[in-house]
Structure 1
Amino acid sequence: MMGPSKMTTIHVLIIDDDDDLLEISKRFVNKIDDTIEITTVNSGKRGLEILASMYFDVVVCDFQMEKMNGLDVLKTIREQQNQIPFIMFTGHSHEQIAIQALNLGATNYLTKTGNPKTLYTELVHLIRRAVEHDRTERALRESEELYRSLVEASPDAVFVFNLEGKILRLNQQAKRLLGIENIEEIIGKDYRYWLVGKQAKTANIEFEKLVRGEALSQREYKFTLENGEPITVEAHSTSLKNSHGEPVGILAVVRDITRRNAIEEEIRISEERLRSLANNIDSAIWLSSPSNPSKIIYLNPGFEQIWEVPVEHALQNPEVFTESIHPEDKARVETAIADFVREQIDYNLQYRILTGQGELKWIWAKGFFILGKEKGVRQFGGIAQDITEWKKTQKALEESLTQFDRLFAASINGVALCDTSGILKQANSAILDMLGYEHNELIGKNISEFTVQEYHEDFFRTLSEMRIDTQIRSLKYEYYHKNGTRIPVSLNIWTNIDQNDEIIGYWIIIRDISKQKDMIEKLSESKEKYRRERERLSELAHHMRHDLVAGLQNIEAFSELIKDNMDFKLIDRIRENARQMRKVLDRSVELADAGLVIGKMQQTDMAKLVDEVAYRVIPENVTVEHKNLPIVKCDREKIEQVLHNILTNAIQHGKAKTIVVFSQELESELQIVIRNDGESIPDKIRKQIFRGDYFLRTSESLGMQIVRRIIEAHGWSITLDEGEPVSFRISIPRK
């Protein structure tokens, strides 16, 4: 497909299977706007073929056509990644068709109804609007790509700093200059990281000027790289400003001039060596006559590359230099050069020239002196470099930093600047939202006006104690919201320094820590509650053990005495039962002392567990049955303790003859029911049976309160059904 025409003509492809309508459309459109060139085809397939071989600015297509309708044409174009504007021009007025077209990427939708002149006037309007929008979008994309290309293609290192001197961005050339592998290694580092001694102080002075938005800065600095290698760089720096003219960052274009300095040293030793070296660089170099400083006797080939004027012509016509200076810059440049010659004051300038071909270029030029043996001025020299591309890069970066400023304003943390007395000078939207003020309400207020009174003294003492070299101070205070509520906040404060190293105010980062404070308080409450529960559980367990161990010892003793006169199998069951109860009690005390109710969880077959407990505690005259019991994850020994307690109580207190254990499945939970045919539980006991300060004290029972605690520690619940038969119901949530 051919590229777009550079003329103002708009190329339109109209697709419709009605040949008469194609002719009408072409005539009406050309009559309304003769800058629109119409190409017509009578099928969707033919339209796609011609679109692939010719350039068009917009496609106008009918919906209802044989073989391939308008939606099919549109879908095919978009599948080919072609974003050409597409207008659906059809006699169908169904809203659904319009919606489908727009969803597939149609630019607009127009029905073929109404007065022809009005209809085609609207069509022309839609065509022009679609093309203008498409061309604007394309130009914007090309501009952004050009900006990125300029920065990365720059032969010089490009750095962008924030107003605190921290590196925000740099290009690949900067990475090579500093000898680093990963750009992320130096993002956020201070510009003085590679400077030492007087170099750092000089850089500070220049940086502060730039922060205030003063003139461009061009300086040479000595860097010490990570590997210890010293290099000399030339930094061209300027302030980056927002749309209000306020500095938002610093742009520095840095060139390694270590080699150039060596060249200049050789120039002082040998003029011939200067010529040899100068002929191989792309900068323009000039030398004046020792006897007549106003006469240029040498120009290198770099001059011709920049000025686009032959060296011989310039040497014979020195007025070329002044005549090439842009009229708006001429007076400034001529004054600097005159001072250079008369007062021997170095000049370091950026200005514009008009080349021999009429092209506008930006030049950086520096004048220097060549000293003789007597250290008197023998000769003047100068070097000039084309910085046109750098200037373009600078402009693109300024626009980019405007976006950084917007991001700063949208920070989720409050950022404020106050003077030395605490008066707010700047505040971002996060602070306004936090405190409930409008911008004009907050700026000009003293911070103490919304600081809770008890923190005033500490706050102003902190400010008074801060020095230039003071580290960031972190504080926790409370602020008043505009509605009077108190907000706990954390502050990070550091000094704002002017170019004279004087403190002129303070930067403050403010964070709302309400949620953090609430979480700490809840954690403290939870710890206290846990401590009390642990003490209560431990006390209960020790008390139970004290009451029951003696009885268990008696059981073992009596078992030995009657062993010779009784059924040995029964005696073994009594002895095993006693040992098991002692084991459970000891483990309960151990777990209670550790603040625990349950131990290791494991998959447990409830049917087998019921059989084991029944074997130990159920007399032969009592029947225990179980039906459909599940496998559950639990502390097996503790659930065994629960079953032991409930079954023993049914026999000892309820005189039960039949006990049935079965399960019921509900939508949200699984229930295990333990039912017996014994005596009903009196209302007085029924109401207290699960209370924390009540448990049954018998030789066989560990207490229903322990049962409740074990069940609840598993995340389950236990209830006693109303009425008869006596039924304990353990509910296990499915989740």
Structure 2
Amino acid sequence: MFSVLYTDDEKALLDIGKTFLEREGIFTVDTATSAPAALDLLASHTYDAIISDYLMPGMDGIEFLKRVRGSGNTIPFILFTGKGREEVVIQALNEGADFYLQKGGDIQPQFVELSHKVRLAVQQRLAEAALEESEERYRAVVEDQTELICRFTSDGLLTFVNDAYCRFFELDRSRCLNNPHDAQLFPEDARRMKEHLAALTPEQPVALIEHRIRAPDGTIRWQRWSDRAIYGKDGRLIEYQSVGRDISEQKLTEERLLESESRFVAFMDNLPAMAFIKDQECKTLFINRELEEQFGAAEWIGKKPHETFPAPAADRILSDDLRTLKEGRVVTIENLPEKNGRMRTFETHKFRIDRGGNSPLIGGFALDITERRQSETALKESEAGFRNLFNHTGDAIAIHILGGCFTEVNDEFCRRLSYTREELLTMRPQDIEDAESAHLAEARLAALKNDEHTVFEAIMCAKDGTKIPTEINSRLITYHGQQAVISSGRDITERKRADDALRQANRQLTMLTSITRHDINNQIMIILAHLSMARMESPSKAQAELISKVEAAITTIRTQIEFTRVYQNLGSHQPQWLAVSSVLRYIEAPKPVVVKTDLAGVEIYADSMIQKVFFNLLDNAIRHGGKVTEVRIGYHQEGDSLILTWEDNGVGIRAEEKDLVFARGYGKNTGLGLFLVREILSLTGMTIKETGVAGEGARFEIQVPKGTWRIARR
């Protein structure tokens, strides 16, 4: 049964309505002849729906509706009135009425329709309440979970997050909803995640993925997510629901276990001895690679000595095994046949492995004494050969313990520095290095530890104080169980002299070029002055044309001279890391040209003249692009390279001119702008090409090779 409150100032109409509605057997109806009376009933009773007239004295139906909704009551409200004006209907619905029904006409159909509207409104509200209750129960369950739970749309906008999710990512729920949450995934994991979500289908909507993530505190964590794609009845993707948990400890345990097993197997397989493990019944459980290769022992697993060796040898082996279980450790010398039949002598060490409450095991390793003796002889010969090579090479070679003294020096090292071997073995590398280069020692050591190899130049000091420029090639090694550095040094005194001479020649050439350019510019000024005076003499038309041609030629000469000034500076400074956005900061485009950039964090290793690249590209766009109003500068990655893009909305470049525009002298003006662009870029291995479509604008792509670009984190 549904309880209904019916309000109308017409008592007769109330009685008729009550009769009609209660006749169906599903409604009980209370009546009120005014809105205030109805509000009193509503305060003391619970109803499933309200029916109200519009025109009533004191308080009309709309005001009654406002009072009900203003109190927070969402009860279904049907306005049942004789007024059919459109503005009343609109106002009623805007104020929260569920239905609007006009009086008039036949009574029975009218109240049948009213009954239908009431039933429909009540059922709809009950359904909404049930849904809200269901969602609240679901939300309560979800919020109590320790798993991270979220929902998000295909474009990454969060539509729901639980408390655990907010706590882990340190998010404010009110701020993150309807916004993307770009969790800090590693590039490879981000690619896998994208492929993982793309693979979900209506037929297979659920899948698991594990990946790493950088947590807000900077630590790297492992997470496992169960992702479900939620589709509508039409098969259209609505959103994703993800349930995740932190599995860092589990991963760490797995990694430690795998690492432990891997270390054990790697250790055993790399032992210069044959190793094995047996159970208390003397059955073989494990053999290492050396034992398998020497005896073909893979078939020994699960077998006792008498199943793998002839009787006399098997008896000795079994006796030693049992003695090991009793005494704890046994060392024997055994003669055993290899798989090829040859007898070999082995020194075998066996020991009991106690395992608490479990049965003990037998561990052991066998040393092939024959091979060891041969190895010792070969090692002595090898050491003699190494010593001979060490002492007779043309380079100075030394070995020193990391952070300590020299442990080995060759004859050339002693000769070059005029120290005895004994003296050098008490010294450290910094003791023989000039202070001018010794301050770089920490940076070199860091590079060596990072790459295990480094080449650098230093100034070595001989015993008599002579300074020797030296190119040193150092490599990190293990020497007698310690971390050490082996270095070879080459005297580069002559090369340094040649470099100094070349630098001096370049300085003189630069000075000569500068003086010559200055003198030429002075003469050009004189010529231009004379030409200006000639124009003042009112020359004939033919003479004026000749003067103009001379002036044009002089302008070209000036441009060429200026080009030599710019060109001579190419490569004169050490390249450096430059933020592209900072370089572009000083480029101002003339109106109405607008420059748009998307280069946040992009840095390139380039010559300091890189700014001229962008100046010339802008100048080229303005001069030759027609009515250019917009320039766009961005980037993307292709393989290991970074591609910087420069685009304008001008006329573009014809296909047959795409390569010619970079040639020196090509073009309508000096033909030096794009030529200079290419030359500056080439200093650090960068290249440029034009890839635009004629008629749609020019597009230049600058390829920055691997190692000369990076994206700085902000």
Q: Calculate the TM-score normalised by the size of structure 1.
A: 0.30
Structure with the larger RCO, 1 or 2 (CA within 8 Å, 6+ apart): 1
